[in-house]
Structure 1
Amino acid sequence: MCSIKLVLIPVILYIVFAKDVPSITTSQTNVTVVVGRDAYLTCNVENLQNYMVAWLRVDTQTILTVGQLVVTKNPRVGVLSGPHSCTLTLKDVRQSDVGRYMCQLNTDPMIVQEHQLQVYVPPEIVDSNSTGEVIVAEGGSVALHCTASGSPQPNITWRREDSKPIFIAGENVLKWEGEWLNISVTRRDVNCVLLCIASNGIPPSVSKRILLNVLSRPRVKTFQQQVGAYIYNTGTLKCHIEAYPAPEIHWRDMNGNNLVNGLKYETKTISRGNVHVASVTINNVTREDAGVYQCLAKNSLGTESGNITFYTLALSTEISTSTVRTVTSSNPVTTATNFTFSEFAATEIHEEPLTSIFPVLVQHHLQKPGKTTVS
């Protein structure tokens, strides 16, 4: 009887894995950079093997780089390659660089990935399309225009340089939005510098100064209708004038004579826009200086004046008996009516008896100088 033996023959199974194919793992990206800075566009690649990555500009169908080689003649373009990435670099980015860029693998078929480059640009006022200095008659209307370039498109804001309100559309506002600023009724107090401010979130914001001149005849106001000064001291008269163009300003005395700068009179005018503050200082005041003075302003649109009454201050004594008063001082003896307060305080006075010493207002056009008599 034959026996059968089973022989087990080992079977070796070989599993052959196919070579992994290259792939771009980066999703589509949007890159934003401020003009003048550097931009970096990156493609992440797996299993690159012996393939190469090329960068192209889609808009112009221009090849920029292949592998580590820069093909374009643009000196601002560069490439940074790594084992798993390839980065296109753009130095000193300009607004003209905005557009679509593509990285591609030279496989069959080709593998590609697009990137969008956006360049932000700070605002800039377009002077050629914006209003310059403006002259308008009081009560008239004016339309001011201001435009700016930049990315994103800038917003325009108007305000006064001195931060005062602007009268627009029947109300006072501190600022106004929009390229146009329309003032339907121009008042003299709008004679000012207006600022057109452009901003788009990319610093710095920029502004343009627009000088608005409102033609107006002089308007004169006096700070005080009456001004007094002590004998031998100085007195100053002032008036406030609003006018454009700048007026001629004259000071006149009670006889209508123009006051001229010199030892006796000092005139001065401080101007800011359409506002002018004029003053005259009277030196070494005497009783003869008392009277009505006139501040007169004149420009091509008209003339106006304001009056100020100037009076002198003196010291007087009231003596109730006929006793002679004795005054001791290192200075020559004068009548009490000629003393200023500072002189009076520095002098030692002895009287037998003296009832009172008091200041008296003396106006030349109402009262002539008197004499102090004793018996």
Structure 2
Amino acid sequence: MWILLAVSALQVTVTLGVIPSFETPVVNVTVIEGATAVLPCSVHNLGKHQVAWTDQWATTLAYMDTRIIDDDRYSVDRPYGNSWNLHIKGVKYGDQGIYTCQMNTQPVKVQTAILNVVVPPRIVGTVGSKVVMVKEGQSVSLVCNVTGIPPPTVTWYKQSSTRDGPKESEFCPATSRIGFSGEMLKIHNVTRYCGGVYECVADNGVKPSFKRQIKVAVEFPPEIRLPTKRIGQVLGKETILDCEVTAYPQAVSIWHYKGRELSKTKKYQVEVYEHDDHAIVLSLRIKHLSKEDYGSYTCVASNSMGQTRAKMELYEHIVVTRPPPTTTTIVIRKTTLVHKPSSIKNKSQSNRKRPKVKLQDEDVIDPYARLQQYRPDNPVKKTDNTITLAGSSKSKGTNSAVSSKHFVNCQFVFSFVLSLGFVMFVS
């Protein structure tokens, strides 16, 4: 081939003195594996010279616009008159290297095109997701073997089961983004909270990145949580007993009462509800409560890892009714005594007919003598025209009438009214 180019070069006339040339001496082309590589070659003033493409092993691929190599992936494209671009379809990683575009000048002129082939990351091994079983307290290793050019990095993530999206876990060494780059992730002392879906993502800057999911299932014995340990209900009503069971694999859960298993009957209704990951609620409905229904009920849960139970007490709730409050009304009658004694105007008025009373030393006939029984500390004093109640003294006055202004003072009347009212209230 080069002999032909040399002979052709001798026949070229350079009367005009124009020398052919390339636009750029070196071109770098980077292509993703599987795509089509375009190696450019633009020549100015080619004249009667010829162009040929060779690879790094000096193999002639094309002459002018004709493919020479027996590989239909190669072709020469001429979008413009001075362009002699080499196309390689379905590029493989082995195609990368140095390619040259040459002209049969003296000396031979060459344009170099460097082909770089990058390979997207891939994870080798099992295709699709897989499940890794581990018992609580043990260690587990998750592996993602990857390939790619340039070598990819592997980042591990843990998917969150909450609707709010990924968040850090408080119970497991691994977080939502573990931040560990490498093909292997090892979790020590696994707890039930480490279970879930882990994802390894391989990335080397070449799109698309590759990912694989691995589910970690942690086996642990059942746990029971009761909303309350004691519940009360009125006789004749119905009640519901709830028992929340968390376990993996899922536990077999039943209610026991007085040594027998409770199943669905007219009296009892047993239902199971999904509560959360690996958690269920075992609900027992008891209808028409009687005296025999009160007592201790046991929730029992068991799986391949163990068994546990918890008790709930059902007691009779007695509603205490209180009598309505009573109102007592106390009526106090107030009696007012009004005494209006007449004053002595003259002797004729004082000598009106009235019962004559002979006062003796031992006799007490005046009403004030009775008052003296309630007022022993305040005896009535003797005056000229008053009847004294002290001892054997007698009246010296000629008139037995008693003047009110000398007989009653304000203090004595007030004391009398209070004393009389007290006696009436007590009686």
- TM-score relative to the length of structure 1: 0.69
The secondary structure found in structure 2 opposite 1:189 is helix
What pairs with 1:291-306 in structure 2 (closer than 5 Å)? 291-306=295-310
Structure 2 Cα separation of the partners of residues 168 and 96 of structure 1: 48
Q: Counterpart in 2 of 1:126? A: 124
* 1:184 correspondence with 2:172: no
**Could you list the per-position Cα deviations for residues 303-336 of structure 1 after superposition, in whole angstroms to 9, with x for gaps in the alignment?**
1112334457787754559xxxxxxxxxxxxxxx
Q: 1:70 to 1:269 in 2, by over 3 A?
A: same
- Sort the Cα spacing of 1:309 and 1:88 in 2 relative to 1 into closer, same or farther, 3 A: farther
2:89 maps to what in 1?
91
Letter in 2 for 1:20: V
- Residues 38-49 of structure 1 mapped to structure 2, 5 A cutoff: 38-49=36-47
Q: How far apart in 2 are the matches of 1:171 and 1:195?
A: 12
Q: Distance in 1 between matches of 2:16 and 2:238?
A: 112
Question: Which amino acid in 2 is paired with 1:119?
Answer: V
How far apart in 2 are the matches of 1:157 and 1:210? 13
Identity %: 30
| Residue 73 of structure 1, CA deviation | 3.2
Q: Is the CA contact (8 Å cut-off) linking 2:121 and 2:209 kept in structure 1? A: yes
CA change 1:149–1:227 in 2 (3 A) is farther
- How far 1:282 sits from its partner (Å)? 0.8
Partners in 2 of 1:168 and 1:30 — Cα distance? 51
Equivalent pair of 1:166/1:175 in contact (CA under 8 Å): no
More strand by share: 1
Change (3 A) 1:300 1:44: same
- Contact 2:242–2:283 (CA<8 Å) still a contact in 1? yes
TM superposition shift of 1:101: 1.8
Partner SS state of residue 133, structure 1: strand
Output the CA distance in 2 between the equivalents of 1:107 and 1:76.
28
Cα distance change of structure 1 residues 232 and 71 upon mapping to structure 2, 3 Å threshold: farther
Structure 1: segments with no counterpart, 5+ residues: 1-15, 322-375
Aligned to 2:393: none
Aligned to 1:325: none
2:110 corresponds, among 95, 109, 112, to 112
Asked if structure 2 preserves the Cα contact closer than 8 Å seen for 1:235 and 1:281, the reply is: yes
Q: 1:157 and 2:162 equivalent?
A: no
Structure 1 residues 168 and 252, CA gap change in structure 2 (3 angstroms): closer
Aligned-residue offset at 1:250: 1.8
Counterpart residue type for residue 19 of structure 2: V
Distance 1:129 1:38, change over 3 A: closer
Question: Using a 3 Å threshold, how does the CA distance of structure 1 residues 304 and 131 change in structure 2: closer, same or farther?
Answer: same
Q: Which residue pairs with 1:4 in the alignment?
A: none
Quote how far apart the aligned CAs of 1:228 are. Answer: 5.9
The structure with more helix, counted as a fraction of residues: 2
Match of 1:78 in 2: 75
Aligned-pair Cα RMSD in Å: 3.4
Per mean C-alpha deviation after superposition, the further-off stretch among 94-103 and 121-130 is: 121-130
The equivalent of 1:33 in structure 2 is: 31
In structure 1, C-alpha distance between the alignment counterparts of 2:309 and 2:171, rounded to whole Å? 31
Is 2:61 the partner of 1:64? yes
| Residues in 1 aligned to 2:89 and 2:188: alpha-carbon distance in whole angstroms | 50
Instruction: Give the Cα separation in 2 of the matches to 1:36 and 1:229.
Output: 74
Could you state the TM-score of these two structures normalised by the residue count of structure 2?
A: 0.61
Aligned match of 1:240: 245
Task: Number of aligned residue pairs: give it.
Answer: 302
Q: Which runs of 4+ in 1 moved over 4 A?
A: 128-132, 166-173, 226-234, 287-290, 310-321
- Hey, what's the Cα distance between the residues in 1 that align with 2:286 and 2:171? 47
Q: Please tell me whether the aligned partners of residues 157 and 175 of structure 2 are also in contact (alpha carbons under 8 angstroms).
A: no
